[in-house]
């Protein structure tokens, strides 16, 4: 299962246009996307957050590792679901399309792949903080997916890409910051 997940992540990052066209043709049933892509990916991200704190700090602090993994889990899930919900609402109100939560979830999930991967690397190797700049590549991933996957017309493509990218990048960060402030002792 993880081999298939990383195959899609690599495809989305390296050749987003071709990957989005392939994903548009792929038939995804019911909850298959969530149970075969998002949940395992967020689970892996949470495990990496736990292990990252244990192995990158000088002292062995299980409490801090648990807090970090809880923050990562809630930020990833909350950011994913909130971005999907808000994109679905914007999809209906601003772009005058029929609401389709599953389509929005799949779009947000696949578009978030790069962010999940960068977060995993940074949790294991915090010295590579400069990799955060590559999160901006999400804009290009969303741009490439807007046409073939979401069927956004050319005049609305820039507006859709800007809104979707802002939701995908900012919401997990905002939730993470809120949790950071609510969980005392989570200072690294």
pLDDT digits (tens, 9 = 90+) for 39-58: 999 999 999 999 999 888 87
Q: Percent of the chain at pLDDT above 90?
A: 81
Q: How far apart are CA 1 and CA 48, in angstroms?
A: 17
Q: What is the pLDDT of residue 30?
A: 67
Q: How far apart are CA 148 and CA 68, in angstroms?
A: 37
pLDDT of 188 higher than 60: no
Q: What is the pLDDT of residue 186?
A: 66
Tell the residue number behind the tokens 């990383």, with chain if given. 6
Q: What is the pLDDT of residue 34?
A: 93
Q: What is the pLDDT of residue 117?
A: 96
Burial 35-74 (b: 16+ CB within 10 A, else e): eebbeebbeebbebbbebbbeeeeeeeeebbebbbbbbbb
Angle 39-56/2-14 helices, nearest 10 degrees? 90
Across the chain, what does the average pLDDT equal? Answer: 93
pLDDT of 187 higher than 70: no
Q: What is the pLDDT of residue 182?
A: 85
Tell the residue number behind the tokens 């005049």, with chain if given. 155
């Amino acid at each position: 299962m993880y081999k298939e997940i990383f195959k899609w992540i690599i495809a989305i990052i390296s050749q987003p246009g071709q990957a989005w066209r392939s994903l548009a043709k792929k038939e995804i049933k019911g909850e298959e996307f969530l149970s075969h892509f998002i949940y395992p990916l967020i689970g892996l991200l949470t495990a990496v957050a736990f292990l990252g704190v244990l192995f990158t700090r000088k002292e062995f602090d299980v409490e801090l590792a648990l807090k970090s993994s809880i923050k990562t889990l809630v930020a990833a899930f909350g950011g994913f679901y909130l971005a999907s919900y808000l994109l679905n609402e914007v999809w209906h109100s601003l772009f005058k399309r029929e609401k389709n939560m599953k389509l929005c979830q799949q779009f947000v999930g696949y578009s978030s792949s790069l962010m999940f991967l960068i977060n995993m690397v940074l949790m294991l190797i915090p010295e590579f903080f400069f990799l955060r700049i590559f999160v901006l590549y999400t804009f290009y991933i969303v741009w490439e997916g807007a046409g073939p996957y979401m069927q956004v017309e050319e005049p609305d493509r820039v507006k859709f890409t800007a809104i979707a990218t802002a939701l995908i990048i900012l919401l997990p960060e905002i939730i993470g910051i809120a949790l950071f402030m609510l969980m005392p002792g989570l200072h690294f």
